[in-house]
Structure 1
Amino acid sequence: MPVTKIKLHETMTYREHAITSKSFSRKLGIDLPFAMYAMAAGESISAEQSTLTRLFEVIDGTLTIQFADESQQTVATGEMLVVPANTVHTLLAAQPCQFIQFETK
């Protein structure tokens, strides 16, 4: 596979009252999930979990990740949060937010 450069800030645009996403796995020729999301203010992705460890890196804005035990972590631009496999979590955007989600074993 050739060296590939992705301009993340130019990849996604915000849409009012919407969540947009783009998977990079096929384009990059990788087997594990790798996607970027843009969430409008007030949007959320309800409780989910994965058998893989998830890494969330915020590119723009702030993302709040709430866990089943009601605890939460706020992840700001330039920060990454690691969520262990099989951990139930909800994603919340109080303000517009762009982030990358990697999954790994």
Structure 2
Amino acid sequence: MAVTKIDLKTTMTYREHAITSKSFARKLGIELPFAMYAMAAGESISAEQSTLTRLFEVIDGTLIVRLADEVDQEVHAGEMLVVPANTVHTLVAEHPCQFIQLETK
């Protein structure tokens, strides 16, 4: 694989009342899921969980990660949140938000 540079700030654009995503796993030749999301204000991704640990790094705005025990974790631009495998969580964007999600063992 060649050295690859990705400009995360210009990769995704916001769409009104929508969530957009782009997977980088195939482009980068990696097996583990690696994707970027842009969520418009008021959008959310319903409760989900993974058998892998999820890392959420916010590029723009603030992402709210609501854990199964109803505890909200605010993740701001430049911060990363690690959610352990098999942890139920919901993603909420009260304001426009861009983030990358990487899953690892």
Normalization by structure 1: what TM-score?
0.99
- How many angstroms does 1:2 deviate by? 0.2
Aligned CA RMSD, in angstroms, stands at: 0.3
Q: How does 1:1-105 map to 2 (within 5 A)?
A: 1-105=1-105
1:7 maps to amino acid: D
* Deviation beyond 4 Å, 4+ runs, structure 1: none
TM-score (normalizing by structure 2) = 0.99
Q: Secondary structure at the match of 1:26?
A: helix
The size of the alignment, in residue pairs, is 105
Percentage of identical aligned residues: 82
Deviations 1:47-68 (A, max 9, x none): 0000000000000000000011
